[in-house]
Amino acid sequence: MQPLRDAELGAFTFFASPLPHDVCGSNGLPLTPNSIKILGRFQILKTITHPRLCQYVDISRGKHERLVVVAEHYEHNLKDLFKQDKPVSSEKVLQIAYEMLEGLAFMNKHGLVHRALSPHNVLLDCKGKVKLAKFGLYHMTDHGADVDFPIGYPSYLPPEVIAQGSFHSSEGSLGEPPLPSGPKADVWSLGVLLFELCAGRQLLQNIEISERLKFIITLGCMDDIVTVLAEEHGCLDIIKELPENVMALLRKCLTFLPSKSPPTKNIQLKVPCGQRPVTTDEGLEDDLHKLCSSR
């Protein structure tokens, strides 16, 4: 594990799904508790280190399937930027996009999907650099199968995830669980976050969760999702003033069909900070490297 330097230690807790007491496995032995499974999957997360990811430190198992996770933490996050009540500059948006993609590309390289991107899970260190928190929650819970709550936040879930609905193995359902989300699920969430920064406000905050989910699903009927979101939230004039490269980035991320959505891996992205672009092994299918040109 790398030294945490100026970071703080933070902790979050959750409960694993309880198993029925009268059910055994195919070998006749009691089933392994879900909290034990989560504990086992967590171990690999302690070995994954990157400047854009919050380092996992330890996990503790308590009574009644409770788990407590300790990780690197910072006081500030993207939600603080909305307190300014004004759009974030395009240069800052591109910097944040670059740094988030650094972390996501590294995760994808190791077979991880975040699936819980939101403003309060994108932390900012003392230098204002991005640190992705809770990046291993989806992995340690076996894509959400070992817990009774959904992994992700309604306003930031991609349409294909919402369309699958929820599945809890503890309910004894005979149906097939939904396929695990791939890296492209994080692309939509990234696009929503970047749109919010550009608009200077959070989306879908004043409606019921059921209406939020319905609205996101209906976006699949729209040709220009970015414009529809801007009109819905009264910020069309602000969005129209964005540089062409920022608009192109938003449109690439906010694509309803996952087959047309660019992956977060294989991205080369230049930002107006004089930083070296993040590049992975293969070329990006939709030329995302052209979206953000250096100043």
Helix (H, G, I), strand (E, B) or coil at 130: strand
260 band by pLDDT with thresholds 50, 70 and 90: low
Burial class of residue 37 in the structure, from the number of CB atoms within 10 Å of its CB (0-12 exposed, 13-18 middle, 19+ buried): middle
- Domain boundaries, given as residue ranges, for the chain: 75-290
Helix (H, G, I), strand (E, B) or coil at 172: coil
pTM here is: 0.84
Mean pLDDT lowest for which of 135-149, 177-191, 233-247?
Answer: 177-191
Average pLDDT (133-154) is 95
pLDDT at 85: 83
28 band by pLDDT with thresholds 50, 70 and 90: confident
If you classify domain 75-290 with CATH, what class do you get? mainly alpha
Query: What average pLDDT is seen over the chain?
Result: 84
Average pLDDT (149-173) is 77
pLDDT at 66: 97
Cβ-Cβ contacts under 8 Å for 177 (sequence gap 6 or more): 145, 167, 169
pLDDT at 265 over 70: no
**Higher confidence at residue 223 or residue 238?**
238
pLDDT at 267: 47
**Higher confidence at residue 45 or residue 4?**
45
pLDDT at 230: 95
pLDDT at 284 over 50: no
CB atoms within 10 A of CB 29: 8
